[in-house]
């Protein structure tokens, strides 16, 4: 049987977009340890933040930067190449502290700077409330490009998150960009409906330049969003339509003492209809 910590960790890692604090409060209320269980859940908080591309505000700044496995340093520190800053993250509160100057050491620093500039234009144009990052990976033989956009509307009982994670080898003039696009939406007014979808991406990049890479990424994201819109329409006209009420709404009270006289009541009770 799974331990309390294991179960609580699964709740933390499965928290819907924008609802981590609510899940934490529920975990504390449901376990006998209460607040004392939080230190045992630190690994789960870290996995959640890195997987979900959590964003934190740099100290003294309104700029939000990404927390991921691609820009991790040591001792819960991470770096942001655009602001040339490293910072410490409290994974339980999703806050940053201890900001320090950071110099990116990479043979492909110029490409990374160009990608940050071009990808920033793309993000601001298509994704309000978004954050992005470009990081050297795999011993500086490739770069990771990540984007996260959050839309929270708790007053209307829904929250959503768009994540895109791409990796691109940069050791040759042409390459193939691979990765995944994730869309997570949670709607919870008078019910509990969640959309969790992942789209694998595999794009040939004829020229490893910032403009070429970003234009092809933008096309892939646009195609996927259009496919999602078509799927929504098909689902609404198909599956959801089949779940709708089959009987008319009469807005009249049912006289239950006479229900046996109704055709439906006779059918249920095995009687014959009139």
Please report which confidence band the pLDDT of residue 260 belongs to, taking 50, 70 and 90 as the band edges. low
Query: What is the value of pTM for the model shown?
Result: 0.84
Is 220 part of any domain?
Answer: yes
Measured at the CA of 31, the angle between CA 28 and CA 33, to 5 degrees, comes to: 80
Determine, yes or no, domain membership for 150: yes
> What CATH number is given to the structural domain containing 130?
3.90.1150.210
Q: What range defines the domain where residue 221 resides?
A: 107-248
**Higher pLDDT among residues 262 and 110, named by residue:** 110
Helices (H), the chain: 4-13, 20-30, 42-51, 109-126, 210-237, 239-243, 263-269
Whether 33 is in a domain gets the answer: no
The pLDDT > 90 percentage for the chain reads 73
Distance CA 251, CA 249 (A): 6
Structural domain includes residue 19: no
Is the pLDDT confidence value at 255 over 60? yes
Residues 206-250: tens digit of each pLDDT: 888 999 999 999 999 999 999 999 988 887 777 666 666 665 666
Structure tokens given for 122: 């793309």
Domain-embedded: residue 185: yes
Tell me, yes or no, whether 138 lies in a domain: yes
Residue 155 domain flag: yes
Looking at every residue in the chain, the average pLDDT score rounds to 89
CA angle (115 as vertex; 135, 200 as ends), nearest 5: 70
Does any domain span residue 161? yes
Number of structural domains, the chain? 1
State residue 246's pLDDT score: 60
pLDDT digits (tens, 9 = 90+) for 91-134: 999 999 999 999 999 999 999 999 999 999 999 999 988 999 99
């Amino acid at each position: 049987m799974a331990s309390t910590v294991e179960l609580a960790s699964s709740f933390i890692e499965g928290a819907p977009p924008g609802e981590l604090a609510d899940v934490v409060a529920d975990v504390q209320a449901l376990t006998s340890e209460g607040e004392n269980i939080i230190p045992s859940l630190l690994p789960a908080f870290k996995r959640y933040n890195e997987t979900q591309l959590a964003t934190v505000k740099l100290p003294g700044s309104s700029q939000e930067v990404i927390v991921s496995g691609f820009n991790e340093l040591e001792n819960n520190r991470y770096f942001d190449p655009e602001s040339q800053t490293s910072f410490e993250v409290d994974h339980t509160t999703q806050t940053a502290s201890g900001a320090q100057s950071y110099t990116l050491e990479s043979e492909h620093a110029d490409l990374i700077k160009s990608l940050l500039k071009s990808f920033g234009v793309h993000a601001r144009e298509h994704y309000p409330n978004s954050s992005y990052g470009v990081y050297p990976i795999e011993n500086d033989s490739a770069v990771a490009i990540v984007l996260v956009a959050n839309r929270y509307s708790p007053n209307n009982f829904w929250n959503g998150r768009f994540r895109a994670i791409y990796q691109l080898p940069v050791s040759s003039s042409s390459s193939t960009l691979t990765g995944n696009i994730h869309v997570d939406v949670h709607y919870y007014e008078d019910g509990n409906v969640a959309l969790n979808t992942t789209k694998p991406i595999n794009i040939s990049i004829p020229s490893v330049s910032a403009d070429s890479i970003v234009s092809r990424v933008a096309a892939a994201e646009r195609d996927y969003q259009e496919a999602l819109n078509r799927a929504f329409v098909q689902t609404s006209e198909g599956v959801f339509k089949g779940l709708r009420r089959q009987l008319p709404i009469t807005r009249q009270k049912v006289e239950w003492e006479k229900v046996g006289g109704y055709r439906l009541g006779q059918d249920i009770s095995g009687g014959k209809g009139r």
